[in-house]
Amino acid sequence: MARRGKPKLAVWKFASCDGCQLTLLDCEDELLALAGELEIANFPEASRAVVKGPYDLSLVEGSVTTPHDAERIHQVRRASKFLVTIGACATSGGIQALRNFRDVKEFISIVYATPSYIETLRTSTPIADHVPVDFELRGCPINKQQLVEVISAFLNGRKPNTPRHSVCLECKQREQVCVMVARGIPCLGPVTQAGCGALCPGYNRGCYGCYGPMETPNTRSLSGWWGRLGVKEQELVRAFRSFNAAAEPFRRESELHER
């Protein structure tokens, strides 16, 4: 494909642990090809050299947790032609969205010596709550192959192959034995979106729901079955309240089991 100049790539960080943007550096085999096809214009984790915008492709990591970030995301949107959010923080608010269920002011008063220095929002919210997002790549952290797939799809003008069905389809296609059926281990796989390659069930552990709710999650039914496996209400709250606690179907389910 004859491309006019290399598309400019920018990587942005909001409230996050950096694990998702590190996935880009972790693409060891593809890194040279990536650098050949894209101009890495703004990626402070990789290089101090920053090229001015606008950018053709922006990867946004992290959630919005401060008034400053709530402003900054609009600047990022304005500077980006195509904006892709990466990871659980950017797509659902991340683990820090646990604050959404409590009074953040109370936390601040307990944790910080001088609470008045802290300027933070009451909730942690996904990027799509603030600006239009062109594509969301899920996961905590995101999967390297899926990131390459999304970038490759962007470069070649096609839709990325990142299905929104359950983890179970991946698990079965990898010929793994269902940990919930064969061992009675509670697993979030049936309500969680695929993308990780059913990693945890492959190691005889239940799915933790890192990729957030699948397209049509029936959390109510799964919770009922977990109850039969001996899982207590408080444990159900914690299971649905992790990396994707604020994703709507998981938030609703966790609240049903509170108290």
Positions touching another protein (CB under 8 A) are 1, 30, 33-34, 36-37, 148-149, 151-153, 155-156, 158, 161, 163-166, 168-169, 172-184, 187, 189-191, 204, 214-218, 220-222, 224-225
State in angstroms the smallest separation of the CB of 156 from another protein: 5
Min separation Cβ 41 and another protein, Å: 17
Tell me the three-class secondary structure of 6-58, residue by residue.
Answer: CCEEEEEECECCCHHHHHHHCCCCCHHHHHHHCEEEECCCCCCCCCCCCEEEE
Q: Which is nearer to another protein, 54 or 184 (CB)?
A: 184
Whichever of 83 and 191 has its CB closer to another protein, that residue is: 191
As measured in angstroms, the least distance from the Cβ of 240 to another protein is 15
Q: Within 10 Å of residue 50's Cβ, how many Cβ atoms?
A: 11
* Structure token pair of residue 178: 């269902």
For residue 104, give the amino acid letter.
V
Query: Which residue, 126, 95, 137, 139, is CA-closest to 240?
Result: 95
Distance in Å, CB of 181 to another protein, minimum: 5
Instruction: Identify whether the C-beta of residue 162 lies closer than 8 Å to the C-beta of residue 192.
Output: no
Q: Which two tokens stand for residue 242?
A: 């992790």
DSSP state for residue 178 in the 8-state scheme: P
Cβ proximity to another protein: between 38 and 104 the closer is: 38
Give min distance, CB of 9 to another protein, in A. 12
Nearer to another protein, 94 or 190 (CB): 190
Looking at beta carbons only, is 189 or 195 nearer to another protein? Answer: 189
In the sheet that holds 39-42, the strands lie side by side as 39-42, 8-13, 55-61, 80-86, 135-137
Per-residue DSSP letter, 176:
P
Q: Choose between 127 and 191: whose C-beta lies nearer to another protein.
A: 191
Residue nearer to another protein on the CB measure, 34 or 127: 34
CB of 37 to another protein, least distance (A): 5
- Quick one: DSSP state of residue 125? B
Q: Considering only CA atoms, which of 78, 81, 60 is closest in space to residue 16? A: 60
Tell me the closest approach of the beta carbon of residue 176 to another protein, in angstroms. Answer: 7
